[in-house]
Structure 1
């Protein structure tokens, strides 16, 4: 009878193989048509502009707070884009319905609202720049204090993290800013 030696390397190799077997076995059970990712925190739900507007007008935006996605259609219907967003932290902060872009600004400054100051009295006015919560571009909606804007804090995208606004990565809001003119119809759902 030969004596078998157990080394640390052999123990690690055998343990790794034993742990891999259930994963390989589970992979065999996945149907061929299954999506490549099972868990996507920003599970985009496709939208059709016809479900929300009578016509495209000069352009149309649907901000879906459930899937945390902003859908954009150009007025001619040729351009359709979907962007990941941050959404309001709570339902109480979420305003839903129809509005439109009434003003746009590159390098927006930021002033906390009275409700924000109640929550955090240390907040202060911020000029444009890296610390500004509105990022590099802002599109103001017809509802006071509600915007579609960028953010320097990229951790917020895909999360319930805003005080009511719809936030995008700066490079994405810059692209949207160039495509969505003042008067673009917006629906928040």
Structure 2
């Protein structure tokens, strides 16, 4: 039986869409031997299939960004929506897809470091979040409704975190109020690799 061009095109579209949906869930890993749902608006309808900066989601070398990798180094590229990690001895490199802030006004760039690590973080909206969203709760405890997911890395900048999310639709998008979000399985892995004092650079 001969398929019409319309049937062939539909099959190709569905196959391509499935591949795109699967892509961001993978973190690239190289081991060298030498609150709550709808807590923010997202840039597009979360049910849409979106093309996610695949060309710029690639491995990077640490040298253009850090003078050394002592105590580990984290680079967050808000343009490609990717987080890069290098261990102190450079034997481990990780690359994860992230969510990034909704707007430039909510985005902070520059150098900071991890000052605290928390499993099962609590969440409280910042004053500016509460002003924009007065209907939000004042407190959300650890669990599936917590917008910080399962783990959080607190940065030296007040209110800024690298954390997990239970709403996986947000990863790969502009969807946060300032923080950097990862899939819960990825933040759990990064949590185990980083230390208090690990340097962080957002570009």
Length-normalised TM-score, structure 1: 0.81
Is 1:17 matched with 2:4? yes
Distance 1:22 1:173, change over 3 A: closer
1:68-79 correspondence runs (5 A)? 68-79=81-92
**Residues 5-59 of structure 1: CA deviation (Å, up to 9, x unaligned):** xxxxxxxx66x33447899xxxxxxxxxxxxx9x841421432210111000110
Which residue pairs with 2:64 in the alignment? 51
Asked whether the equivalents of residues 121 and 150 of structure 2 are also in contact (C-alpha less than 8 Å), the reply is yes
Q: Give the match for residue 183 of structure 1.
A: 197
1:107 aligns with 2:120: yes
Q: How many angstroms apart in 2 are the aligned matches of 1:84 and 1:46?
A: 12
Aligned-pair RMSD on alpha carbons?
Answer: 1.9
TM-score, scaled to structure 2? 0.75
The residue number in structure 2 matching 1:126 is 140
Give per-residue Cα distances to partners, 1:85-129, cap 9 Å, x unaligned.
000000110000000000000000000001101110011210101
Equivalent residues, number: 162
Q: Note if contact 1:146-1:164 (Cα within 8 Å) is conserved in structure 2.
A: yes
SS of residue paired to 1:127: coil
User: Pairwise mapping of residues 57-96 of structure 1 onto structure 2 (< 5 A)?
Assistant: 57-96=70-109
> Which consecutive residues of structure 2, in runs of 5 or more, have no partner in the other structure?
11-22, 24-49
Larger radius of gyration, structure 1 or 2? 1
Give the equivalent residue in structure 2 for 1:167: 181
- Distance in 2 (CA, whole Å) between partners of 1:45 and 1:63 is 13
Structure 1 alignment gaps of length 5 or more: 1-12, 24-36
Q: Does 1:41 align with 2:55?
A: no
- For the pair 1:149 / 2:160, whether they are aligned, the reply is no
Change in Cα spacing, 1:145 to 1:22, as seen in structure 2 (3 Å) is closer
